[in-house]
Amino acid sequence: MIRVGIILGSTRPGRNGEAVARWVHDLAAKRGDATYEVVDLADFELPHLDEPQAAATGDYRHAHTRRWAEKIASLDAFVFVTPEYNHSFPGVLKTAVDFLYAEWGNKAAGFVGYGVDGGVRAVEHLRHVLAMLGVATVPAQVTLSYWTDFENGVAFRPAALHEERLGMVLDQVLAWGGALLPLRA
């Protein structure tokens, strides 16, 4: 079975991403077609890049990097849950991506963005970064708006249409993730 990491891309206190990631996980787990787990960046406590060698060398000196590398290497595909901060994705997510190289390659990724405009610019920026690492990003995405999917900007109440859209994202992530498995064998 394909292993999909739902990467929670914010560590901000009081973040809305926890509720969004739980929603993604709960709906995904009901499908029974893959193994899904939430991968919370807050649990990894990655500092700003502190490895002496470039990630492409795979020479990871710090325990936090090796732990992060093991987690990402263990997954076949991803669903990134990201807010939009200042028309892009959070720096903590960029740092987490930049810590590694080979562990991302030849895997598929989908996106659930949230923010004032649904997180679309954050997702577009993240797509460009992941493409450089050999991640195949699927075209379907979920865009959650603070105005319509969060009561008072805090309580997550997604519109029903997002459940169908998430299903499309997961269908594509699993199809592409499965197709890429032989490249990593």
The model's pLDDT over 58-95, given as tens digits with 9 standing for 90+, comes to 999 999 999 999 999 999 999 999 999 999 999 999 99
Using alpha carbons, select from 137, 132, 136 the residue that is nearest to residue 55. 132
Question: Could you list the pLDDT tens digit for every one of the 185 residues in the chain?
Answer: 999 999 999 999 999 999 999 999 999 999 999 999 999 999 999 999 999 999 999 999 999 999 999 999 999 999 999 999 999 999 999 999 999 999 999 999 999 999 999 999 999 999 999 999 999 999 999 999 999 999 988 899 999 999 999 999 999 999 999 999 999 98
How far, in Å, are 7, 11, 16, 101, 114 from residue 31 at the CA level?
Answer: 18, 28, 24, 30, 23
> How far is 167 from 100, CA to CA, in rounded Å?
29
3-184 fold: Rossmann fold (3.40.50)
State the pLDDT at residue 89: 97
pLDDT at 181: 96
What is the reported pLDDT for 153? 86
Q: What is the DSSP string of 114-182?
A: EETTTTHHHHHHHHHHHHHTTEEEEEEEEEEEHHHHEETTTEE---THHHHHHHHHHHHHHHHHHHHHH
pLDDT of residue 98: 98
């990894």: which residue's tokens? 44
Domain range annotation of the chain: 3-184
